[in-house]
Structure 1
Amino acid sequence: METRELRYFVAVAEELHFGRAAQRLGMAQPPLSRAIGQLERRLGVTLLDRTSRSVTLTEAGSVLLREGRAALDAVEAAERRTRRAALAATGRPGLVLVTKAGASGELLPKLLDAYAAEPGAAAVDVLLCGIGEQERLLRDGRADVGLLHRPFDSTAGFDFEELCTEGQVVVLPAAHPLADRAHLRMADVTALSGLPMPRWPRVDGTYPDGPGPEVRDHAQLLQLIALGRASAVLPESSRAQLRRDLAAVPVLDAPAVTTVIAWPPQSRSQAVAGLVRAATRL
């Protein structure tokens, strides 16, 4: 298969409409239909069930959509890393560090300062992202290294070093009746607070069902908590960034959160190696 064919198929499989897919790809519909037909004949499978009213994926089509996305992501990652390596060869090398906006508030500046003090340290661009986006940005080559937080983020397929482990707190409005407690348990948070937990986006951008508000980033979450529309269980280190109208109470039985520094296993970047060494020394 060619990457061109994969891009054509992924567009049709995501749109489930040849006209919209053709418009998205900037091409006419007839050659797109012919290309998909040729791909099916070469593979010897039916990828799409077509009627005059609808287009649906077959089981084989669902597999190719999943694998095709991964293959295209890998090609794009290779292109980005190659260009970055060429730029590094012409001058001072640089790297991109990705982390969730609002996370690792105390660790991140210490890490950047410690690495900058190293002889020959590269320039570090910090890419702040939304919830759960670090993995995708690491995989597709837009970032060289990232700070992830288990169990919320997956480290599958990455090399990583554990940096620190901490407990969690529930963040509540400062005037909430539970805000003065010395500690709580998860059952107390859900049963007594009267405030729903936020709903974070999945990897595909959709939100799980539930009563809580849909939340995209840390700043939005804190604003909703201050307004009395939600509560949230967050890592202990989030205390340092809380506003005066918010309170944090330790949750004794909440799972511990481990911060890791992660990078693609195929990386041979000396800059990434130096940043990881600085992180593990902190």
Structure 2
Amino acid sequence: MNDLEVRQLRYFVAVAEELHFGRAAERLGMAQPPLSRAIRALERQLGVPLLERTTRHVALTPAGETLLRDARIALDAVTAAARRARHAGRSEPGLRLALKADYDGGLLPRILAAYQREAAALPVELVLGGKGEQVTALRDGRADVALVPAAVDEPFDVHGLDVEPLLTEPRLVALAASDPLSARSCLRLADLAGRVLPDGTPADGREACPATAGARPRRLDLAEIFNLVEVGSIVWFPPASVAPRHPRPGIAYRTVSDLPPLTLTLAWPHHSRSPAVAAFVRTATATAAATAAHPADERAPQPATS
């Protein structure tokens, strides 16, 4: 049997995800008849049916479900390989660092300053993203190293990655200064009943209602989050190091006793052999260790600030 081609996998994934040949053809920018012929040729090549076709619907067979899962992984790997090759071949190399804005525990300026003193250091390009996007950036080749913030009760998938925890810090609740709860110095999650987080989920940890479950809200930037908190539309669970860096008269930061803390973890691809990445890892871990040894600095949180 001949090896599968990337083109065949792209065709199949489009059909498998759309479960409609017309929509898949439109997505691929091609006519439907050659797409149908390509999928039948793929089935003959593999010797198994991948799709169940009727006049009313298209469904995946068990073999099709297996191929869809593995094809997505293969296509992601091909895309990542191309991105890494283009990046490595640039005339001016650099180190791409994925992170979520302000979720660096206050360490980033010191890490970058120390890193530039390393012999293997390269110019650092920041790849900013939302919650959970840092690991994706590593896997798809958009980043070389990442600072990954994750609550201890929401671990991320470390498959294929090397990781090094840098620090763990409490999370606070940011709420409108006009909110009656701001009069209290310490809260519990249950006290936040009826309030929602930036992603639309209930702040007290209850499941979202059926009308909003599964919805994908627009990602908000930091300025939008602050504005919505100030007017009482949402509450937010930032790491404690955010409070002293972003004091606002209209926002109160309060401790939540049963809110799991946040761990900032350094992550990079397991296969990386880059001296620049190795230097960044050494610098970041040393900076975090030095900060932990001298915690009474400008990074120390002020949970009762309003």
TM-score (norm 1): 0.87
Cα offset, 1:82, TM superposition: 2.0
Q: Which runs of 5+ in 2 are unaligned?
A: 202-206, 288-306
Q: How far apart in 2 are the matches of 1:109 and 1:12? A: 47
Deviation at 1:169, TM superposition (A): 0.7
Question: In the alignment, does 2:207 pair up with 1:233?
Answer: no
- Which residue matches 1:26? 29
**Structure 1 letter corresponding to 2:83:** R
Matches for 1:29-108 after TM superposition, within 5 Å: 29-87=32-90, 93-104=93-104, 106-108=106-108
Q: Deviations over 1:162-212 (max 9, x none)?
A: 11100111110011111132211222233xxx42234379xxxxxx84469
Stretch of structure 1 that moved more, 6-15 or 179-188: 179-188
- In structure 1, the gaps of 5 or more residues are 202-207
Residue identity in the other structure for 2:268:
W
TM-score, with structure 2 as normaliser: 0.80
User: How big is the alpha-carbon RMSD for the aligned residues of Structure 1 and Structure 2?
Assistant: 2.3
Partner of 1:205: none
| Distance in 1 (alpha carbons) for counterparts of 2:248 and 2:113 | 25
1:120 Cα shift?
4.1
Contact 1:162–1:260 (CA under 8 A) maintained in structure 2: yes
Aligned twin of 1:124 = 124
- Check if 1:169 corresponds to 2:172: yes
Indicate conservation of the 8 Å contact 2:198/2:220, yes or no: no
Q: Distance in 1 between matches of 2:208 and 2:64?
A: 27
Work out the CA distance in 2 between the residues paired with 1:138 and 1:107.
20
Contact 1:139–1:264 under 8 Å retained in 2: yes
8 Å CA contact 2:105, 2:167 repeated in 1: no
Moved segments of 4+, more than 4 Å: none
State, as a whole percentage, how many aligned pairs show the same letter: 50
Q: Post-superposition shift, 1:266?
A: 0.6
Q: CA deviation at 1:254?
A: 1.3
The one of 177, 189, 192 aligned to 1:189: 192
In structure 2, the residue matched to 1:154 is: 156
Secondary structure in structure 2 of the residue aligned to 1:160: strand
Contact 1:102 1:218 (C-alpha < 8 Å) held by counterparts: no
Distance verdict in 2 for CA 1:254–1:280, change over 3 Å = same
